[in-house]
């Protein structure tokens, strides 16, 4: 596994395994263990995925030393605000039960972001969180909040793939040395992307599948990716990216595929309310 250096001196495995929508209990436990056995060393969960406890148990049971596994979680909107964020952080620490969390993110950019961030800075100083960052901060949210933070976030986790390359946002983030983490790095299985002729041509040239070409492009762009797969072969293949390299001309060909449009708009009216109403942590 290759690593990417963060602006706080820590390093993050370049590819991670995301557990969004995998049910708490046996399913998340087994999926996490399968990923760890396949060679993943980076698991991405969230309080709002409702499966932190099973991720923590799988990591503890894996037999792999704790310090070799990078675990990300995220605070949910209902825990925003300085005092409440302390409650949210404590809950994630308790459920994961791994001593510390490698990376903790503000999952959604709504409510009292500044108070939430202060609580996270304090938990980082106390060693409970090793790195801290944000998620779903579009250029508008990024410009609103990041200049007011005392500590720059280590990452911003966003939707990103060759059809949605976040060019404006990445310029802002590069100025602060904030790394991009990609959710939907394969366009959520978009057949147009996975069968795009240039990508198919490169897959044939390098003897890889098209998903691996996309993930390699993203890695060479300095992006941490969280590809999703339920297929064992593809789960393994999606971290087998480090024995070939795309040329600069090929990178430019893929850079030109950007449409500037994605599947999810954090600024869309009603999104905050929909998330607050539909995803509520009760324990
Ligand atoms: P599958 O589970 O059958 O592998 P994203 O990570 O952007 O959300 O995309 C996930 C989708 O991409 C899933 O439908 C998954 O299907 C598919 N997928 C995952 N890895 C690959 C790959 N290497 N090549 C092609 N499709 C892939």
pLDDT, tens digit, 9 for 90 and up, residues 216-271: 999 999 999 999 998 889 999 999 999 999 999 999 999 999 999 999 999 999 99
Which residue has its alpha carbon closest to ligand 1 atom 11?
189
Distance, CA 212 to ligand 1 centroid (Å)?
10
- Measuring from each residue's beta carbon to the nearest atom of ligand 1, which residues come in under 6 Å? 184-189, 194, 209-212, 227-231, 234, 237-238
Q: Which of 189, 203, 224 to mutate to test the pocket of ligand 1 (most atoms within 8 A of CB)?
A: 189
Computed over its alpha carbons, how large is the radius of gyration of the chain?
A: 18
Does pTM surpass 0.95? Answer: yes
Closest ligand 1 atom, residue 226 Cα? 6
Strand pairing report for 70-75 and 42-44 = parallel
Give the mean model confidence (pLDDT) for residues 76-96: 98
Q: Annotated active-site positions, please?
A: 49
Task: Count CB neighbours of 37 within 10 A.
Answer: 13
More confident residue, 21 or 125: 125
Residues 6+ apart with CB under 8 A from 258: 162, 163, 164, 165, 167
Distance, CA 46 to ligand 1 centroid (Å)?
21
Distance, CA 211 to ligand 1 centroid (Å)?
7
3-state secondary structure of 3: strand
Give the mean model confidence (pLDDT) for residues 85-113: 98
The pairs formed by 254-259 with CB atoms below 8 angstroms and a separation of 24 or more are 254/162, 254/198, 254/199, 254/214, 254/217, 255/165, 257/162, 257/163, 257/165, 257/196, 257/198, 258/162, 258/163, 258/164, 258/165, 258/167, 259/163, 259/164
Q: By the 8 A CB rule, do 169 and 134 touch? A: no
| pLDDT surpasses 90 at 15 | yes
């Amino acid at each position: 596994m290759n690593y990417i250096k963060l602006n706080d001196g820590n390093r993050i495995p370049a590819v991670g395994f995301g557990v969004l929508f995998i049910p708490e209990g046996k399913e998340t436990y087994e999926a996490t263990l399968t990923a760890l056995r396949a060679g993943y060393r980076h698991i991405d969960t969230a309080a709002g995925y409702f499966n932190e406890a099973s991720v923590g148990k799988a990591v503890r049971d894996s037999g792999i030393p704790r310090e070799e596994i990078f675990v990300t979680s995220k605070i949910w909107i209902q825990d925003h605000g300085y005092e409440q964020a302390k409650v949210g952080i404590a809950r994630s620490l308790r459920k994961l039960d791994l001593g510390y969390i490698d990376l903790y993110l503000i999952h959604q950019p709504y409510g009292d972001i500044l108070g939430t961030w202060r609580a996270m800075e304090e938990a980082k100083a106390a060693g409970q969180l090793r790195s801290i960052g944000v998620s779903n901060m579009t250029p508008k949210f990024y410009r609103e909040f990041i200049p007011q933070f005392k500590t720059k976030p280590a990452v911003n986790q966003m939707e990103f793939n060759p059809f949605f390359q976040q060019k404006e946002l990445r310029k802002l983030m590069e100025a602060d040395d904030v790394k991009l983490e990609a959710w939907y790095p394969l366009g959520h299985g978009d057949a147009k992307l996975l069968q795009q002729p240039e990508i198919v041509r490169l897959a044939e040239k390098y003897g890889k599948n098209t998903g691996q070409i996309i993930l390699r492009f993203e890695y060479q762009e300095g992006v941490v990716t969280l590809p999703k797969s339920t297929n064992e072969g593809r789960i393994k293949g999606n971290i087998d990216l480090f024995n070939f390299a795309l040329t600069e001309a090929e990178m430019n060909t893929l850079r030109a595929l950007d449409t500037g449009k994605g599947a999810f708009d954090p600024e869309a009216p009603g999104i905050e309310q929909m998330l607050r109403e539909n995803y509520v942590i009760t324990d």
